[in-house]
Amino acid sequence: MSRNRKIVASAAIVIAIVSVIISINQTNTTLRNLVCAPCIEGSNNNLEGSKIIQVTGALGPESIAFDPNGDGPYTGVADGRILKWQGDELGWTEFAVTTSPRCGCLLLDREKVSRE
C-alpha cells in the first residue's frame, strides 16, 4: 500500500471516530454511558454498598445462590461442599456435601502438596 493510501485511510478512520463522538454528544448521551449502564429513575443501586466475603479453606466460590426466604448466600466450592453465610460472627458454615472429599481441592491440601 502506498504512503498516500495509508494517509487517506488513517484520515478516514479519524473522521469516522470524530463523527461518532459528535453524534453521541448531540443526542445528550455521554461517553460514560457507552461503558456504564445509564441510571434508571426509581431503581435501587444496592451493589455500591456491598462487600466481598472471602471463602477461606476452600477453592471457590463457584456459584452464589439465595433461597426464597432471603437466607444465604449459599456457595458451592471445588471440594463439593455447599457453604452458607451465617453472618460476620459465624462466617461460612457447611450446609451440605454433594460429593465425597476430593484430594487437592482444599487449600490446605494444596499447600501440603506444594511443600513436598
Three-class DSSP category at 44: coil
Which residues of the chain carry a pLDDT beneath 50? 109-116
- What pLDDT is recorded for position 116? 43
- E strands, the chain, in order: 63-65, 74-76, 81-85, 92-97
pLDDT tens digits, 61-78: 778 888 888 888 898 888
Q: Report yes or no: 74 and 64 within 8 Å, Cβ to Cβ.
A: yes
- What pLDDT is recorded for position 38? 66
- What pLDDT is recorded for position 115? 41
CA distance 101 to 116: 21
